Amino acid sequence: MTSVDPLRNLGVRNTPHGGELRVWSEHAETMEICLFDDRDPNWMVKTVQMTKDSHNVWLGRSRSLHPGRRYAIRASGPAGPTNVFNPETLLIDPYARGLVRTGSASWLSTVIENGFDWGDSQKPNTALDHTVIYEAHVKGISKLNPAIPEELRGTYAGLAHPATVSYLKDLGVTAIELLPVHAYVSEQRLINQGLSNYWGYNTLNFFSPHAPYATRSAQADGPEAVLREFKGMVKLLHEAGLEVILDVVYNHTAEEGLGGPRTSFRGIDNVAYYRQDAHGAYIDVTGCGNTVNFGHDVPVRLVLDSLRYWANEVQIDGFRFDLAATLGRNANLDFTRDHPLLTGILEDPQLAEVKMIAEPWDVGNGGWQTGNFPDGWSEWNDRYRDRVRSFWLTDIAEARAKGRASVGIGGFATRLAGSSNTFSPERGPLASVNFITAHDGFTMADLTSYNVKHNLGNGEDNRDGTDSNRSFNHGVEGPTADEAILLARHKAMRNLMATLVFSAGVPMLTAGDEFGRSQRGNNNAYCQDSELTWMSWLQTREQQELFRTTRHLLALRRNNPALRPSRYAVLGQTTKNASHMDWYDAGGSLMDDNDWNSPENRTLQYLTASTPDREEFNRVLLIVHGVEDDVTVSLPRHPGVTSYALLWDSATEVPIDEDPTEYPPGTTRLVGGASMQLYRANGPRMPGEG
């Protein structure tokens, strides 16, 4: 006999006999549903007492609990240091699909019908080795776009507008990763400063879309219309072949520390939902005031239910988990890679084929877990970010100051080839989400233009934001008219972007980096909802050239499977979907141990051949030169290679449009200072190359 899941159907369920609300709370002593007038959100028309079953699930039924109805929960319970019940507080249903704001700090849940015509729209299911992620903000990407009707700018509909979609398709990305779109609010501290939370990492509810990102007409029509606009956005992006990944914040909530707002979980069962000590003090490993208690089964279930809802009802393709180390902390606060939540996400059949990406750290003890998540997860690779920034920026700055950099090319090469020193052979290079910038930190343009952060506008006297930027201003802090400095900055951006695109792993671009968007040195613009953070669509000639370069680089990645291995190569074996790699020095000889480790050597030739089972055989040569003086290289003589065709050179400001020039092996080529060149290596496949 199959057992019935006692936690099934939490939240509101529409039945033939009316609505049924189920809420879990172990410590509440009474609970009731408060029903409100359809037109006046402040007029409570009815209360319904709820009853508790043996599994701590409270149940209430009412024919008035129909689609469109606004409702809240009130709960009472014992006093004490770990409980904060208040029978007068109107609480949000943790499973509410829609919210209505009724005051500066008060909300009502809304019953949603959930109907939507998806038509023939289907998830693109882009293979991970073909995936290119574009991290963007719903509002920021379209707010200033003159090609979009004004009433749609900065909205879900604006993101799905043909002008935005065609831009993303033309650029060549395959997935858009949205900064948080779960309903969120600004922190009390920001409100008191007259600022707001722009990024959205302060979640109010895990099932409701953020209403202010909808058009005014949808907001006026209510939560059902907001959800419909969100689903319409997903449908149109899918029809264009673009996946939608959500940045989700399950590690903490907007209830902040004790004394903060009591809007939902705290008033329902503070003991179960939040980490705290015996005295009621919150144990905070997120740096945000509270930590959701994933040492308890019910918060684990809440996250799984939320993911199932977004992946199936809303057709989301993937999730990026903010501070994901928190999700893997057990009852003792230790991170374990086999935590029930981390493994449950992978094993849930309702989440099959959904991309799962971890931000593999938090601020607690043992919080840095890059490389330690289970097989099936991809992870933001901060070690990749740091090594690539150092190679092209701070190493160059050091060489200018001291005559040479103190670090050679070996660590950079390891990151280029897929970070096999970080991820296990079973997981392979696609476990690494490679990034050089993200929403948090300098933009790519600012990495090349500022040595230090400039965050005074954030209201914290420039104390916020990291001081470890690994950036280089190339001689002047901030804007300059010096042509030599500008040329060096532009080339540095091309090198950074090319490294990202040509590296094994899953590349993630930050919106605007493709053309060099600046935030004027602000590396923590979470509270800046203005033209500082919105994408500008009026671009200079130099920005247009960088966009053309980025588009060209993404096409090269798409057309050359040798740059996209899904497995690590094994010496002496032929491994399908790995890349067979050979490493040469500037003279065309195979690299030796000294070449890898010596600061004297910052030039290599990386010859990689695919071993495909789905695509044609492919072989490319990438030359990397990390010194500002020019160098002459000898193209390597390699079995099977008959010629090298130059596809791209970072020393040129615009991509090569004409047919590529071919050079025989052994040809000497001049490589400009601090630059890269990519060649197609022509010739037959040889044994061991797939």
Active site positions, annotated: 322, 359
Q: Where are the alpha helices (DSSP H) in 408-505?
A: 410-416, 444-447, 483-502
Distance CA 72, CA 92 (A): 6
SS3 annotation, 43-79: CEEEEEECEECCCCEEEEEECCCCCCCEEEEEEECCC
Strand locations in 279-398 (E): 318-321, 355-358, 378-380
Distance CA 387, CA 627 (A): 16
Cα radius of gyration (the chain): 27
Q: Where are the alpha helices (DSSP H) in 417-482?
A: 444-447
3-state secondary structure of 506: strand
The letter for the amino acid at 468 is S
Sheet containing strand 603-610, strands side by side: 579-584, 603-610, 619-625, 675-682, 643-649, 662-663
**How big is the CA angle at 503 (ends 418 and 433), to the nearest 5 degrees?**
65
Distance CA 366, CA 386 (A): 20
CB atoms within 10 A of CB 482: 12
Distance CA 555, CA 512 (A): 18
How many CA atoms are closer than 13 Å to the CA of 250, on its beta-carbon side?
29
Torsional class of 80: left (φ above 0), alpha (ψ -120 to 50), beta (otherwise): left
3-state secondary structure of 217: helix
Distance CA 627, CA 534 (A): 35
Distance CA 450, CA 477 (A): 5
Interstrand relation of 133-136 and 175-178 (parallel, antiparallel or unpaired):
parallel
Distance CA 679, CA 2 (A): 60
The letter for the amino acid at 629 is D
**How big is the CA angle at 94 (ends 89 and 96), to the nearest 5 degrees?**
100
In the 8-state DSSP scheme, what is residue 431? G
Which residue, chain included where needed, has tokens 């970010």? 385
Q: Which helix (H) or strand (E) holds 308?
A: helix 297-308
3-state secondary structure of 678: strand
Q: Could you tell me which residues come within 8 angstroms of residue 244 by beta carbon, excluding any fewer than 6 positions away?
A: 175, 176, 178, 233, 234, 237, 238, 315, 316, 317, 318
Contact 261, 189 (CB under 8 A): no
3-state secondary structure of 613: coil
